[in-house]
Amino acid sequence: MRLAIVSTISPLSSAAVAGPGPRADDKKPASTDDSHDHIIVGGGTAGNALATRLSQGLARARILVIEAGPAALDDLDINCPGKRGSTLGGKYDWNLTITPQPGIKNRVMTVNRGKVLGGTSALNVMVWDRAASKEYDSWEDVGNKGWNWKSMISAMNKAENVGGRNSDLYTGSAGGKGPVHAVINRNHPEHENAWIPTVQALGVPANTESLGYRCDVSAELDRPYTLKQPTRRITARKEVILSAGAIQSPNLLELSGVGQQPVLSAAGIPQIVDLPGVGENYQDHVRVAISYQLEDGLTSGDRLRYDPEFAASEFAKWVNGEMSWHDGVRGGIAFANFKQILPGGDDTALRSLAYDAIGGSHSPLDKKKLQFLDDASIPQVELIFSDGYTGLQGYPAVGSPLYGKNSLSFIAGLMHPLSRGSVHVNPANPAGNPIIDPRYLDNEHDVQALIGAVKFCPEIARTEPRKSALLSEYDPGLETVQTDEQWEEFVRSTMLSICHPSNTYAMLPEKDGGVVGEELKVHGTTNLRVVDASVIPVQISAHIQTAVYGIAERAAEMIISDDSATALASQW
């Protein structure tokens, strides 16, 4: 089936063209011919990486990227690493909202998504890491031939380029010569030195392959132009590729008539392809933070918040290319399994809760989650040490006793929560924002697993050399959170997202609720692929942009190979 895609974009949208025909640096398209070989909807992380590779590999093809947000290539709020977080909730953010979540005391929260050329890679906090090899292998196990560690590490390496001003600090073995520049921070506050020896003392070996630097993917495109006519029909000669991200790609498909009948009928959309999996399987990483005040004399990134002169002079240094507190993302990450963090290494109760929740499920995704519990090489928990305050309440207000103090936070995250949610078109307003229901903490396993993870943070704080740098715990405050009930209350009241929605368009066989197959083509269609975080079939224990780049690299290889095969066939 050949499909027409319904994409509503705003007058500020940007577009970029590569290949013959109008060039991306034109002020506007030179021709009125609105047909292109490949149309990519969404100029974000995956979309732009894919467009770059297609324009390199298909010299004669005309490729169009349509992006709902503006181009902001020179905006220092995006480009300066020390300003990470400053664009959240602002003009480059879709600012979506979830439905009230019973598991977290009916709280609602914002779902931050980049609405700018570069997408969420322009807004994120720049962690660059990978999951365990068996997690990528699990993608093949659930029915996607060729999607495994070997192919993914090769694709992720193809995207990345480890180097820059301090590449000598990198002790890892990975990394290629790709367009995404990744570096280890060169600016380290003194108190950061305690992180690696402390987690080593707790049994987690060191791994210095984690990198972080702002290199959003928009920088790889030719200069884009702003669309002058937001309403017009554009035709794809070969195929349309949805790269609008894990929230909007399913939404666009439903608007186009692909999805489950009840959802489409409620929104008054005629069904063209029956695919019950569209928008299902919403997965996210969840987290809780504890903050500590640092010993007097130690400085943290909080100083950029409470000392404007310091912030301005550090920013000026960064602009001049000098070592600066604005240089990077200060912090460290450790991954662990439940046995490593639970008292006495006893994960029996948690395993039993997991089997209660999904033991009877026939879904290959649930079966994988249970298998992962048996594999010590697969992390279940992420422990982040973050320089400065990162809790729910925000840095203490001006005038409060803690204003002007320096802090650090420990963040505990769940890598394989069992809850699975959904994102669907809004029946009351199909053209508006989708209904996002992640079903956070909707089962006892996830609640107890998160409690177990966050209780390990005070353990880190009590261990030397970390212990000596800390003055007191002030969020949540040991005196108020002691009993099991209090920990549960704390976790349900303060849980936040790590902002990794994925799987909403899972690459799986159709019989298992899949939406795309191993070639990333939407089941039941011939001219439509999806290339973004939504196709991830099994959730991974990593920040997911590295995988998204890898998916885009693999998609580009497939599309280029398909095109070459077609061209060859047409010569005969």
Ligand X SMILES: Cc1cc2nc3c(=O)[nH]c(=O)nc-3n(C[C@H](O)[C@H](O)[C@H](O)COP(=O)(O)OP(=O)(O)OC[C@H]3O[C@@H](n4cnc5c(N)ncnc54)[C@H](O)[C@@H]3O)c2cc1C
Catalytic residue annotation? 500, 543
Query: Cα separation of 184 and 545, whole Å?
Result: 17
Residue 327: how many other CB atoms lie within 10 Å: 22
Q: What values do phi and psi take at 204, rounded to 5? A: -105, 115
Report the residue from 21, 22, 42, 279 that binds ligand X according to the rule CB under 6 A.
42
| Cα dihedral sign, 280-285-288-291 | negative
Residue closer to ligand X, measured from CB, 21 or 250: 250
Nearer to ligand X, 48 or 419 (CB): 48
Q: Which of 430, 451, 330 is nearest to 389 (CA)?
A: 330
Q: Does 259 bind ligand X (CB under 6 A)?
A: no
The reply on whether position 46 binds ligand X by CB under 6 A is yes
Is 300 or 546 the residue whose CB approaches ligand X more closely?
546
Determine the residue type at 120.
T
Single out the residue of 124, 185, 324, 409 in contact with ligand X (rule: CB under 6 A).
124
| Among 281, 439, 448, CA closest to 352 | 448
Per CB under 6 A, 545 contacts ligand X: yes
* Only segment of 20-28, 123-131, 173-181, 337-345 that touches ligand X (CB under 6 A): 123-131
Total binding residues for ligand X by CB under 6 A?
42
**How many CB atoms are located within 10 Å of the residue 398 CB?**
8
**Residue 120 assigned as binding residue:** yes
Binding segment (CB under 6 A) for ligand X, from list 124-132, 146-154, 272-280, 443-451: 124-132
The distance of Cα 367 from the centroid of its chain, to the nearest Å, equals 24
From candidates 66, 71, 341, 435, binder to ligand X by CB under 6 A: 66
- Given candidates 101, 121, 185, 390, which one binds ligand X under the rule CB under 6 A? 121
Q: Which two tokens stand for residue 552?
A: 């885009």
| Smallest distance from ligand X to CB 213, Å | 11
Q: Phi first, then psi: what are they for 510, rounded to 5°?
A: -60, -35
Asked if residue 544 binds ligand X (CB under 6 A), the reply is: yes
CA distance 23 to 280: 38
Cα-Cα-Cα-Cα torsion 179, 185, 186, 188, nearest 10 degrees, comes to 170
Q: How far is the CB of 464 from ligand X (least distance, A)?
A: 29
Position 342 contacts ligand X (CB under 6 A): no
CB 225 within 8 A of CB 24: yes
Q: Does 548 bind ligand X (CB under 6 A)?
A: yes
Nearest approach in angstroms of CB 291 to ligand X is 19
Closest CA relative to residue 297, chosen from 406, 387, 400, 403: 406
Least Å from the CB of residue 124 to ligand X = 3
Annotated binding residue 124:
yes
Should residue 83 be labelled a site residue for ligand X when binding is judged by CB under 6 A? no
Give residue number: closest CB to ligand X.
44
The contact pattern for ligand X, residues 190-229, with x = CB under 6 A and - = no contact, is: ----------------------------------------
Beta-sheet strand order (sheet of 35-41): 225-226, 14-18, 63-67, 35-41, 235-242, 528-530
Q: What is the dihedral of CA 171, 175, 176, 177, to 10 degrees?
A: -70
Candidate list 152, 199, 244, 373; residue touching ligand X; CB under 6 A: 244
| Nearest of 291, 263, 314 to residue 389 by alpha carbon | 291
By the rule CB under 6 A, 125 interacts with ligand X: yes
Q: Which residues are annotated as a binding site for FAD?
A: 116, 120, 124-127
Which spans of this chain sit near ligand X (rule: CB under 6 A)? 7-9, 41-47, 66-69, 88, 112-115, 119-121, 123-127, 243-246, 248, 252, 499-500, 532-533, 543-546, 548
